[in-house]
Structure 1
Amino acid sequence: MRYIYGIVFLFLFGINNNSFSQSNGFEVIKNLELIDLIYMNLDKYYVDEPKTGEISKAAIDAMLQELDPYTVYYHESNIEDYRLMTTGQYGGIGALIRKSGEYVFIAEPYENMPAQKAGLKAGDKIISIDGRTMKSVASDVVSDALKGSKGSSFMLEYERPNQGVKKIKVDRDEIKVPDVPYFGMVDDKGKIGYIKLSSFTQTASKNVKSAFEDLSSQGMEKIILDLRGNGGGLLIESIDIVNFFVAQNEEIVKTKGRISDENRSYKTRNNPLDLEIPIVVLVDGFSASASEIVSGSLQDLDRGVIIGSTTFGKGLVQRTIDLKYGAKMKLTIAKYYTPSGRCVQKLDYYHKNDGKVDEIPDSLIKIFHTKNGREVIDGRGIEPDISIEEENLARITAVLMVENIVFDFATEFAQNNPEIAPAKEFRITDKIYKDFKGYVLKKEFEYKTATQEYLERVLEAAKHEGYDKKIDGEFKALQKVVSASKEDDLDLFESQIKELLSNEIVSRYYYQEGRVLNAFQDDQPLKKAIEVLNNKSEYESLLKP
């Protein structure tokens, strides 16, 4: 067995004298030999039979985690996860799941997919799969058990609140998670189109083009592209989407890597769909990678207005490498640069501080200029032209979501209410919220307000400096005011909680599309986008220095 690992690593990564210095080459070979020797001795002498597959994967994962979170190894058993990431497709039942207590629950079945066709609903508790109990089983294990090849089937035992345990046969199918979960007109005059893009899989540009052409046939004159929550995907798909609004042969992205072969220029390849239509792109802190290529290049070329909050800041490019035995590796190979020459990468994974990853320091941030001469900066993601900061969740709101209290109430509500108003119109009435408050107050859970935690730190500092006795009375009075009170906080953060509760309830009746439509009611960035597009002078002024 000796030198097997070394030989495999040398083969996989193509180590040769031309790719690195002699000293570095020796260091690599030495470490590979040590790994081989450790593995050999474990296999030969360890007190129990080593689980070789598990410890090998753990070693590989730990090694890659030292680099960045995007360089990952896909074991042959996890190829479905890789396929879902790149194509949006997988074999399964088409449903989101979530863990609550000892069991995993159906969180949201996709419309017209096997889970929904089999009659499964959000809130159904998964008891067993093909006779195997799912009690105390991790969510990823349950997910793997639900997945499988198209046409295969399994027996599912589940429990629905107030209806007992049932057992059904579920047929798996090829599931395609939609890149564009919704598109339509969003203004009263029917002139502003809206496209929600949730991912950049192999069909993203095709689906965006189809949606754009459909909206154009309805009389669309302006467009909103919503990239909020879109964590990215395939680089070429982002370039093709930009190409819809930018002339052919325009440079959109440059990549630069340690190896000169990765220094490339990516230009638009096709004729555009529309070079004149006004564009607003919506972004947030979860818009990353390919989303930042689209928003950043449209900003750099002064082709559209960016509205929302600063994006995630992922300026790294990955490539997938096929390994032996059906495994794959996703490897960071370069940084990308938008047309102005900036790289949006926010975190510096190379220069870690005691294992901690810090942001690129302000002293290294540089100013670049758009086509019209507007100033933009690197190292901080994409900063919007109009900033609308995301509302932070109150502690009680976060707890209500994490503890599945909103989810469970929505399950109960759907059982007792066969129908609700259309998704765009549904609102949480005073009666519904009163019922929800009563439901919450019966639950046992604890939390602290952020102010309460801050005060506790102040008291610790006061004790350290000897001031605690002097401020004792004032501190206790203040602590009483800011201590968590479920009833008071349910009133204080009513509008925030109502918004999340409404969206969860709507999903039980109208699925993913319903969530999008219902969220329009309180969507301030969307409302600002419509306002800007309806004001030609403001739109044009935002694209000038």
Structure 2
Amino acid sequence: MNGTIKRPSLFHFALFTGAILATSTVSLLGPASSSVQAALQDSPKAIVDEAWQIVNREYVDGSFNRTDWQATRQALLSKDYTNKEQAYAALKAALEKLNDPYTRFMDPKQYDALSNQTAGELSGVGIRLEVNDQTKILTVVEPIDNSPAFKAGVQSGDRILAINGKNTKGMTVDDASTLIRGDVGTKVMLEIGRDGKGSFPLALTRARIELPTVRYSVKEEGNKRIGYIRLNEFSAHAADQMRRAIQDLQTKKVEGFVLDLRGNPGGLLQSSIEISRMWLDKGDIVRTVDRKGNSEEISANRTAITKLPLVVLVDGNSASSSEILTGALKDNGRAKIVGSQTFGKALVQSVHSLADGSGLAVTIAHYYTPNGTDISHKGIAPDVKIDLTDGDRQKLSSNPKLFATKDDPQYAQAIVVLEKATAARPAPILGTQQVSTRQEKGRLDTP
């Protein structure tokens, strides 16, 4: 990725996540007459009505928040829109009547960003960027492994002085990322500044970059070897990355795991299901209910990778798919949950591309944990509750290297809990098996 992955508020995060694999093909205009169709096809009203039809067909609340949704359509189509922006604004206003922040319209730029984020990949050169707080210069945080930038020797701390000849002074990370990204196989010219070497040009060929969403390491805690895994979001590649992490840590003879979901706002429902199955050999994972009352129960399928003791770290920003995974592990007694109360989002969205490249996310179902718990607006209570103080948060944010160390109170408590669990002889490790995908692929569960 060419730019840092910012962590916006939970409400706004959905604008930066999604999956192009998740889009659905929908019919334009639905049951309108042929004359109405002809009148709308070349006007902004086409997008308005396409979105209206999707909501009408799929929205989880058949009363549409006690709104006359048919009258809403008539009002939308009775207006004259001189451009798409006016139509977008009218559609957003109509969706606000549902009083559901998760059912939302995205303009093409927002939809593209959402698609790239939860797809877990994009076309670029593979560098994370930031504007240095002291120098105010665009700086490389790190190159992504095996990316064009990594292979070309780009280093953390390198300064990006120009992009295709354009000086980056005063440029934001987003602006720089837009310039660096492009079609696979095309080139971008960077002017690099490096301590001890001055400045030099570097031509890079853009490639498809898989964004790392899982980071892991072996931590020596006393006489215990602990496998620490941090999952940032449930992207389309998260399950494969999680599988590799668990398997690699097991070869390193760890005695237990800490799975860190703090700050994880969710992502693809299918990803949470696949990852749940890596830890659970049997038991229910989640139950979804649509507006017609149709219920679907999703369960483990005896494809767990390990039975080693597990502690899950959560906080108030662990939401949606994070809560599905946490609820499944807690209700089945597979893991101890440590940290703060989770966010409390129990809704599932379906994401659709619209004809002009814009997009629509629609809430289509409510979900419940295996024990039948509705976590809406309540979240999941940890087994061991420990909240960070303002001082703790300031300390960790000012020195990220302290995160997941003994100076991190939640992590430190997780180690205490895990040490008790690993005191007994670890259970045997199960063999691995490829998990099949199901129709849940394409559903978002992100606030």
TM-score by length of 1: 0.59
- Of residues 183, 188, 198 in structure 2, which corresponds to 1:154? 188
1:296 aligned onto 2:340: no
Output the amino acid matched with 1:382. I
1:254 aligned onto 2:298: no
Q: Distance in 1 between matches of 2:391 and 2:140?
A: 21
- Of residues 41, 53, 69 in structure 2, which corresponds to 1:14? 53
Q: 1:281: Cα distance to partner?
A: 0.7
**What are the superposed Cα offsets for residues 402-449 of structure 1, whole Å, 9 maximum, x if unpaired?**
xxxxxxxxxxxxxxxxxxxxxxxxxxxxxxxxxxxxxxxxxxxxxxxx
Distance 1:310 1:144, change over 3 A: same
Distance 1:326 1:275, change over 3 A: same
- Of residues 299, 313, 335 in structure 2, which corresponds to 1:268? 299
Percent identical among aligned pairs is 32
Q: 1:14: Cα distance to partner?
A: 3.1
1:245 aligned onto 2:279: yes
1:520 aligned onto 2:405: yes
Are the equivalent residues in 2 in contact too, given 1:199–1:233 (CA < 8 A)? yes
Distance 1:33 1:59, change over 3 A: closer
Cross-structure match for 2:418: 533
Q: 1:291: Cα distance to partner?
A: 0.9
Are the equivalent residues in 2 in contact too, given 1:97–1:104 (CA < 8 A)? no
- Of residues 32, 47, 51 in structure 1, which corresponds to 2:76? 32
Q: Distance in 2 between matches of 1:171 and 1:65?
A: 43
Q: Secondary structure at the match of 1:229?
A: coil
Q: Secondary structure at the match of 1:253?
A: strand
Output the amino acid matched with 2:76. L
**What are the superposed Cα offsets for residues 376-420 of structure 1, whole Å, 9 maximum, x if unpaired?**
xxx2x12211112123158xx96xxxxxxxxxxxxxxxxxxxxxx
Are the equivalent residues in 1 in contact too, given 2:286–2:299 (CA < 8 A)? no
Q: Distance in 1 between matches of 2:349 and 2:375?
A: 15
Q: Secondary structure at the match of 1:181?
A: strand
Distance 1:119 1:80, change over 3 A: farther
Q: Distance in 1 between matches of 2:374 and 2:128?
A: 34
**What are the superposed Cα offsets for residues 119-144 of structure 1, whole Å, 9 maximum, x if unpaired?**
54555554443234545555433322
Cross-structure match for 1:457: none
Q: 1:501: Cα distance to partner?
A: 5.6
Q: Considering only CA atoms, is the larger Rg found in Structure 1 or Structure 2?
A: 1
Q: Distance in 2 between matches of 1:315 and 1:192?
A: 31
Distance 1:280 1:64, change over 3 A: same
Q: C-alpha root-mean-square deviation of aligned residues, in Å?
A: 3.8
Q: Distance in 2 between matches of 1:107 and 1:61?
A: 37
Q: 1:91: Cα distance to partner?
A: 0.8
Q: Distance in 2 between matches of 1:126 and 1:62?
A: 41
Are the equivalent residues in 2 in contact too, given 1:315–1:343 (CA < 8 A)? yes
Q: Secondary structure at the match of 2:74?
A: helix
Distance 1:140 1:64, change over 3 A: farther
Mind listing any 5+ residue stretches in structure 2 that lack a counterpart?
A: 1-37, 425-447
Cross-structure match for 2:164: 130
Q: Distance in 2 between matches of 1:342 and 1:322?
A: 32
Q: Secondary structure at the match of 1:333?
A: strand
1:213 aligned onto 2:247: yes
- Of residues 100, 104, 109 in structure 1, which corresponds to 2:142? 109
Q: 1:71: Cα distance to partner?
A: 3.4
Alignment of 1:131-530 (within 5 A): 131-157=165-191, 166-248=200-282, 250-257=283-290, 259-260=291-292, 263-273=294-304, 276-346=307-377, 379=378, 381-393=379-391, 496=395, 503=400, 519-530=404-415
Q: 1:227: Cα distance to partner?
A: 1.2
Distance 1:301 1:158, change over 3 A: same
Distance 1:194 1:294, change over 3 A: same
Are the equivalent residues in 1 in contact too, given 2:284–2:370 (CA < 8 A)? yes
TM-score by length of 2: 0.71
Output the amino acid matched with 2:206. R
Output the amino acid matched with 2:276. V
**What are the superposed Cα offsets for residues 122-171 of structure 1, whole Å, 9 maximum, x if unpaired?**
55554443234545555433322221222211122455679765443232
Q: 1:178: Cα distance to partner?
A: 1.6
Q: Distance in 1 between matches of 2:298 and 2:187?
A: 45
How many pairs align?
Answer: 377
Output the amino acid matched with 2:412. K
Q: Distance in 2 between matches of 1:527 and 1:155?
A: 45
Q: Distance in 1 between matches of 2:212 and 2:251?
A: 22
Q: Distance in 1 between matches of 2:70 and 2:299?
A: 43
Q: 1:305: Cα distance to partner?
A: 0.8
Q: Secondary structure at the match of 1:169?
A: strand
Output the amino acid matched with 1:332. T
Output the amino acid matched with 1:92. G
Distance 1:110 1:65, change over 3 A: farther
Q: 1:318: Cα distance to partner?
A: 1.2
> Relative to total residues, which structure has the larger helix share, 1 or 2?
1
Are the equivalent residues in 2 in contact too, given 1:184–1:194 (CA < 8 A)? yes
Q: Distance in 1 between matches of 2:187 and 2:306?
A: 49
Q: Which has the higher relative contact order, 1 or 2, with Cα contacts under 8 A spaced 6 or more apart?
A: 2
Q: Secondary structure at the match of 2:68?
A: helix
Cross-structure match for 2:124: 92
Q: 1:534: Cα distance to partner?
A: 2.3
Q: Distance in 2 between matches of 1:14 and 1:71?
A: 13
Mind listing any 5+ residue stretches in structure 1 that lack a counterpart?
A: 44-51, 347-378, 399-495, 504-514, 540-545
Distance 1:287 1:191, change over 3 A: same
Q: 1:238: Cα distance to partner?
A: 1.4
Distance 1:524 1:393, change over 3 A: closer
Q: Distance in 1 between matches of 2:57 and 2:266?
A: 36
**What are the superposed Cα offsets for residues 230-285 of structure 1, whole Å, 9 maximum, x if unpaired?**
2211112212222233344x33212234x327x43232252142685322111122
Are the equivalent residues in 2 in contact too, given 1:222–1:279 (CA < 8 A)? yes
**What are the superposed Cα offsets for residues 48-74 of structure 1, whole Å, 9 maximum, x if unpaired?**
xxxx35555555556556744433444
Q: Secondary structure at the match of 1:522?
A: coil
Q: Distance in 1 between matches of 2:250 and 2:310?
A: 14
Q: Distance in 2 between matches of 1:163 and 1:393?
A: 40
Q: Distance in 1 between matches of 2:127 and 2:196?
A: 22
Distance 1:56 1:215, change over 3 A: same
